[in-house]
Amino acid sequence: RPRQRHHRPRRPARPPQARHDRHGRGRHRAPPPPAPPGRQAPPGPVLRMTHPIEPSSPAMRRLHQLVDRIAVGTISVLILGETGVGKEVLAEAIHRRSPRAAAPLLRLNCAALTETLLESELLGHDKGAFTGAVQAKPGLLESADGGTVFLDEIGELPPATQVKLLRVLESREVPRVGSLRPRPIDVRFIAATHRDLEARIDAGLFREDLYFRLNGVTLEIPPLRERRDELLPLAIQFITAVARSLGRPPPELSRAALDRLAAHAWPGNIRELRNCIERAVLLAEAGRIDTDHVALSMRRTRPSSPPPQHLHDASGPHTSAPGTSGPGAVERQQIIAALARAAGNQKIAAQLLQISRRTLVYKLDRFGIDRPRKGRS
């Protein structure tokens, strides 16, 4: 007798987002369910700032023009500047404008880890290289192949690690810890520090050959107190970003609060300003930031330094030349006096000022001081 075939009823076709492949993974992800009425998604973290405004000070305009020129190459870059001026932000700008923008930008703070952990994080290690190394791990340099590595606080790099980093820069190969086989890499190096590396070289704390390898191009970021024209645009940018993250309209900044911001010396630079604004937005009532919301240490304020005119009249840019008034004028006169005492010798003048010669040359350009033709070294 012929077999009777039992026909199973067909299952209704599932929507595309419910289909899975043979590994159990969804081919299409279903869109997230809408939030219940009257309930909003929790606000995200405060937006991280890239350079948010068009630089208005001459020094910052020159700096960003230089960034545009060097970004297209592969030369190593050394970024100098005080804590909080935005060295990492500038490194991101270089990477973003470079042909490596689609590749990773990986960061490492050389002051944040012990020497052993720093070496393992930078170079990677093979399985069994040390106690606890249960599997091989590529280091930061391998993982950034084709991209950019940003080494922050490079002046804190231990001497033994300096030697290994120098070998990587020379050979473009990475020796993992516990391995005899180096691995080739294609990485652009950007380093940053708030220290005077030339002074650390003289003190025997930093290798001169490593300094020359990293110092293909030097970019020095002026502190915020020397580019006060950017104070108001930065404050407005931070107010808008913080208010957006809190899901509230941005409060207005009162004239008295602005005057207080303008009188501050900002030793923590842009990072200090951002923290101050975030706190002020959180404390502000009735949509207005007043002096009570601007918490600053009076010990760090400089009421004798007048704010730029455009902080009171935002209709036009502040056009006074850098170093002609305020704290910059004092520094300019000190440099001129040191050059006079040194008979125009820049090296001796730098020693009198207790700065490096490279820093002196940068300040000569920034303050518009003619370089002496005689006695130059």
Greatest alpha-carbon span in the chain? 119
Q: What is the pLDDT of residue 288?
A: 92
Mean confidence (pLDDT) of the chain: 79
Are 65 and 118 contained in the same domain?
yes
Residues 274 and 333 in one domain: no
12 in a structural domain: no
Please state the length of the chain. 377
Q: Which of 37-51, 111-125, 145-159 has the lowest mean pLDDT?
A: 37-51
Assigned domain for 114 exists: yes
- The average pLDDT across 48-56 equals 51
Report the C-alpha gap between 189 and 152 in whole angstroms: 11
Cα(295)–Cα(312) distance, integer angstroms: 21
Give the pair of three-digit tokens for residue 202. 């003289």
**245 and 164 fall within a common domain:** no
Q: Is residue 13 part of a domain?
A: no
Q: Are 265 and 300 in contact (CB under 8 A)?
A: yes
Assess whether 230 and 154 both reside in one domain.
no
Contact 147, 190 (CB under 8 A): no
pLDDT at 30 over 70: no
| Rounded mean pLDDT, 87-94 | 96
State which of 171, 199, 222 marks the end of a domain: 222
SS3 call for 375: coil
pLDDT above 60 for 37: no
- At residue 8, the pLDDT reads 55
Tokens of 113: 């880890």
- Domain assignment of residue 32, yes or no: no
CA distances from residue 220 to 196, 358, 366 in whole angstroms, order as listed: 11, 10, 11
CATH number at residue 178: 3.40.50.300
Query: How do residues 288-328 score in pLDDT, each as one tens digit?
Result: 999 989 987 544 444 434 444 444 444 333 333 444 444 46
Last-in-domain residue among 167, 196, 222: 222
**DSSP code of 268?**
T
Answer yes or no: do 211 and 344 share one domain: no
- Regarding whether 204 and 331 lie in a shared domain, the answer is no
236 and 182 in one domain?
no
Identify which of 210, 204, 198, 202 has the alpha carbon closest to the alpha carbon of residue 170: 210
Same domain assignment for residues 79 and 197: yes
Answer yes or no: are the C-beta atoms of 146 and 186 closer than 8 Å.
yes
> Does 314 map to a domain?
no
Choose the weakest-confidence range: 70-74, 75-79, 224-228.
Answer: 224-228
Per residue in 347-371, pLDDT tens?
888 877 878 888 888 888 888 888 7
| Residue at which a domain ends, from 201, 222, 243 | 222
For residue 279, what is the domain's CATH number?
1.10.8.60
Q: How far apart are CA 37 and CA 35, in angstroms?
A: 6
Indicate the number of domains in the chain. Answer: 3
Domain identity same for 218 and 235:
no
- Give the pLDDT confidence score for residue 10 in this predicted structure: 57
Q: Give the span between the Cα atoms of 292 and 289, in whole angstroms.
A: 8
Residues ≥6 apart with Cβ < 8 Å to 27: 16, 19, 20, 21
Q: Which helix (H) or strand (E) holds 116?
A: helix 115-123
Round to whole Å and give the CA distance between 126 and 131: 11
Structure tokens at 28: 């299409």
Residue that wins the pLDDT comparison between 361 and 99:
99
Q: Verify that 140 and 121 share a domain, yes or no.
A: yes
Q: How far apart are CA 214 and CA 22, in angstroms?
A: 50
CA atoms within 13 A on the CB side of 347: 5
Residue 308 lies in a domain: no
Question: Do the beta carbons of residue 239 and residue 251 sit within 8 Å?
Answer: yes
Q: In this predicted structure, what is the pLDDT of residue 296?
A: 78
CA dihedral (261, 267, 271, 272) positive or negative: negative
Instruction: Please indicate, yes or no, if residue 100 is contained in any of the structural domains.
Output: yes
| Residue 116 forms part of a structural domain | yes
Domain co-membership, 200 together with 236: no
pLDDT of residue 321: 41
- Say if strands 77-80 and 217-220 run parallel, antiparallel, or are unpaired: parallel
Q: 269 and 176, same structural domain?
A: no
* CATH code for the domain of 355: 1.10.10
**Domain extent at residue 271:** 225-299
* E strand intervals along the chain: 77-80, 105-109, 124-125, 137-138, 148-152, 173-174, 183-184, 188-193, 217-220, 252-253, 288-289
